[in-house]
Amino acid sequence: MALIQTIPAPLTPAAATKVLVLRNYVVYRGAWKLFITGFLEPVFYLFSIGIGVGQLIDTFEFHGEAIPYAEFVAPAMLATSAFNGALLDSTYNVFFKLKYEKLYDQMLATPLSTGDIARGEITWGLMRGSVYSAAFLVVMAVMGLTDSWWALLALPATVLIAFAFSAVCMAVTTWMKSWQDFDKITLAQMPLFLFSATFFPVEVFGDGVLRWVVEATPLYRGVVLCRELTTGVVTWESAVSVVYLVAMGVAGLLVVRRRLDALLLT
Amino acid sequence: MISARGLRKSFGDFEAVKGIDVDVRKGEAFGFLGPNGAGKSSTMRMIAAVSPVSGGELRILGMDPATDGPAIRGRLGVCPQEDTLDNELNVFDNLYIYGRYFGIDRATCRQRAEELLEFAQITDKAKAKVEDLSGGMKRRLTIARSLINRPDLLLLDEPTTGLDPQARHVLWDQLFRLKQAGVTLVITTHYMDEAEQLCDRLVVMDKGVIAAEGSPRELIDAHSTREVAELRFGVGEHEALAAKVEDLGERVEVLPDRLLVYSDHGEDVVTAVIERGLQPVATLVRRSTLEDVFLRLTGRSLAD
């Protein structure tokens, strides 16, 4: 074997992220069917609750505008699809790679750094969530559930939701010890999904502490942001949600990096 | 290639490496020999620039692992103790994607992956899943993968542990070829035959320190006799009989299942033992090996 001294150009952070996304893409290239379930779940909810239950409800007020119930539920399912997609990869898959496959140990034997791994994996989770959302947004548009050109901005909004959850869930996963610990993730996932003003307005919680708590949860911010965009009622609250989600994602990313340092570079 | 001075590694209160000095020169095969827990793997991880140094000084390829980690790792090949292959990718993609982690372009990665499949003798398994490979094939794939960046320095942590004898010989042959191609090899092992076969120079590590250093021949000459007479008696008799043969060699080592008498003339020892009326169940005269050096230096066998 010829041994010519070739020192490859160092990967920039962007290039390193791209290579890690490529790795995940190659893994899933042959397993696209796995993507379908994540997409179908919110579609089923939209049909059963948004449209089915929606038959029993007249119109609905959102930020002072009357909208059909299906239009109220659809953007919530849009946000949820990003949430689910991001959650899938950044919890179970990351845990498997970290503890069982020792995949990150392999990567760290190369010039890749823990920062690259954090960015690459979170980007992948973000992309998976975004693909679900984009497909769901098409379903909404076809069914006439989008009221405004603002709806186009719902796509970057879902990217943001996927980023925030992907980063925080991966950070939480680095503390997981066994598969049993994932019950706690499910325990957090269900109430977030059911009570983030997904199926009924936040006003139901009254004006007390409970409402404030709900309004401070991340999926609520995502749901409201999507709803404001698809119904075209954009308010100052939208900006709050954007800042909230960006901050959450960046914080998660930094924690992931530090945790990977602590776990793998011993 | 590698220079360590007073190198230390501790995990909390436990000190795995207690100040070692090591120099590895270009083109040589250098070995870390020692039992499990001697600090070999901790040393290897520090050299691989994935484990921060706790104390002392370490330079790899002239660089400091604390600040130039990625640059160092770009020129290293690492073959870890366990086969940490990517089980979600097929055999070819294991090589191809790994190459991409180094920033090697697509065409070069593809070409090298094909070359390395051939080198590892697994070309026909290119599209197979990793889990369908035999242990020997996985090991060869791990080594092939560590060569994708054409490293200047190849680190092999117990490369043949868990392989059958045939697979070991195939692997040794491949490591010889790499050495001939000019790759510097650093190998840890607890097999003395492997160290004798592969290493130009080695250090014997025990409990985090270096007990001896030199070529296998030098170590044997310095720490053991030319030959060893192995005497096997009945179960439980060895301890008591040791005193009766003590004067026949330079040194006697008592193992649970046999006595080792160190002497430059092993046959004479066996003859004298029988003349004294002792009746060993079996006798064997052999040349000294690194195992004997290790016994001498640490009072323990390597397999412990």
Q: Does A174 reside within a domain? A: yes
- Percent share of chain B, pLDDT over 90: 42
Residue A179: is its pLDDT beyond 80? yes
3-class DSSP state for residue A96? helix
Residue B162: is its pLDDT beyond 80? no
Would you call A109 and B76 a contact, using CB atoms and an 8 Å cutoff?
yes
- The strands making up B282-287's β-sheet, listed across from edge to edge, are B251-254, B259-263, B227-232, B282-287
What is the model's pLDDT at position A242? 95
> For B206-231, what is the mean pLDDT?
88
Distance, CA of B165 to CA of B186 (rounded, Å): 21
For B49, name the nearest residue in chain A, comparing CA atoms only.
Answer: A109
- Distance (Å) of CA A259 to CA A38, A127, B282: 28, 23, 58
| B127, B256: one domain | no
Residue A4: is its pLDDT beyond 70? no
Asked if A213 reaches chain B (Cβ–Cβ under 8 Å), the answer is no
Report ipTM for this prediction: 0.84
What is the model's pLDDT at position A1? 43
| B209, B250: one domain | no
What is the model's pLDDT at position A208? 85
Range of the domain at A260: 15-22+34-264
Q: Are B51 and B42 in contact (CB under 8 A)?
A: yes
What's the mean pLDDT when you consider all of chain A? 88
| B82, B193: one domain | yes
| B130, B237: one domain | no
Distance, CA of B199 to CA of B70 (rounded, Å): 28
Would you call A3 and B104 a contact, using CB atoms and an 8 Å cutoff?
no
Would you call A265 and B52 a contact, using CB atoms and an 8 Å cutoff?
yes
Would you call B89 and A23 a contact, using CB atoms and an 8 Å cutoff?
yes
| B187, B230: one domain | no
Would you call A106 and B149 a contact, using CB atoms and an 8 Å cutoff?
no
Distance, CA of B116 to CA of B94 (rounded, Å): 11
Q: Which residues in chain A are closer than 8 Å to B157, comparing Cβ atoms?
A: none
Pairing of strands B76-79, B153-157: parallel
Out of A1, A3, A110, whose CB is closest to B101?
Answer: A110
| B15, B102: one domain | yes
Domain boundary among B186, B214, B242: B214
**Domain count within chain A:** 1
Q: Which residues in chain A are closer than 8 Å to B149, comparing Cβ atoms?
A: 8, 110
DSSP states of B253-299 as a string?
EE-SS-EEEEES-HHHHHHHHHHTT---SEEEEEE--HHHHHHHHHS
The whole-angstrom distance between A15's CA and the closest CA on chain B is: 8
Q: Which residues in chain A are closer than 8 Å to B118, comparing Cβ atoms?
A: none
Q: Does B146 reside within a domain? A: yes
Q: What are phi and psi of B133, to 5 degrees?
A: -80, 155
Asked if A112 reaches chain B (Cβ–Cβ under 8 Å), the answer is yes
Residue A2: is its pLDDT beyond 50? no
Out of B74, B89, B178, whose CB is closest to A7?
Answer: B74
Range of the domain at B69: 2-214
What is the model's pLDDT at position B30? 94
For A25, name the nearest residue in chain B, comparing CA atoms only.
Answer: B89
**Domain count within chain B:** 2
In what helix (H) or strand (E) does residue A61 lie, and over which residues does it extend?
strand A59-62
Q: Does A113 reside within a domain? A: yes
What is the model's pLDDT at position B242? 79
| B63, B169: one domain | yes
| B207, B231: one domain | no
| B104, B234: one domain | no
Higher pLDDT: A4 or B115? It is B115
Residue A164: is its pLDDT beyond 80? yes
What is the model's pLDDT at position B49? 93
Q: Does B47 reside within a domain? A: yes
| CATH number, residue B275 | 3.30.70
Confidence band, pLDDT 50/70/90 cuts, at residue A9: low
What is the model's pLDDT at position A246? 96
Distance, CA of A122 to CA of A134 (rounded, Å): 18
For A263, name the nearest residue in chain B, comparing CA atoms only.
Answer: B51
E strand segments, chain B:
2-11, 14-24, 29-33, 55-60, 76-79, 153-157, 184-189, 201-206, 209-214, 227-232, 251-254, 259-263, 282-287
Asked if B172 reaches chain A (Cβ–Cβ under 8 Å), the answer is no
Q: Which residues in chain B are closer than 8 Å to A108, comparing Cβ atoms?
A: 50, 73
**Among A61-65, A113-117, A221-225, B59-63, where is mean pLDDT lowest?**
A61-65
Question: Which of B78, B101, B115, B117 to probe by mutation at the A interface, max A CB count within 10 Å?
Answer: B101
Q: Does B295 reside within a domain? A: no
Domain boundary among B159, B187, B214: B214
What is the model's pLDDT at position A8? 62
> For B255-278, what is the mean pLDDT?
84
Q: Does B51 reside within a domain? A: yes
Q: Which residues in chain A are closer than 8 Å to B75, comparing Cβ atoms?
A: 7
List residues bridging with B59 in a β-sheet.
Answer: B3
Q: Does A3 reside within a domain? A: no
Domain boundary among B214, B247, B263: B214
User: What would the pLDDT profile of B4-63 be if each residue is shown by its tens digit?
Assistant: 999 999 998 898 999 999 999 999 999 998 888 888 889 999 999 999 999 999 999 999
Out of A7, A27, A266, whose CB is closest to B88?
Answer: A27
Asked if B48 reaches chain A (Cβ–Cβ under 8 Å), the answer is yes
Q: Does B302 reside within a domain? A: no
Would you call A102 and B84 a contact, using CB atoms and an 8 Å cutoff?
yes
3-class DSSP state for residue B175? helix
What is the model's pLDDT at position B24? 94
| B150, B12: one domain | yes
Residue A3: is its pLDDT beyond 50? no
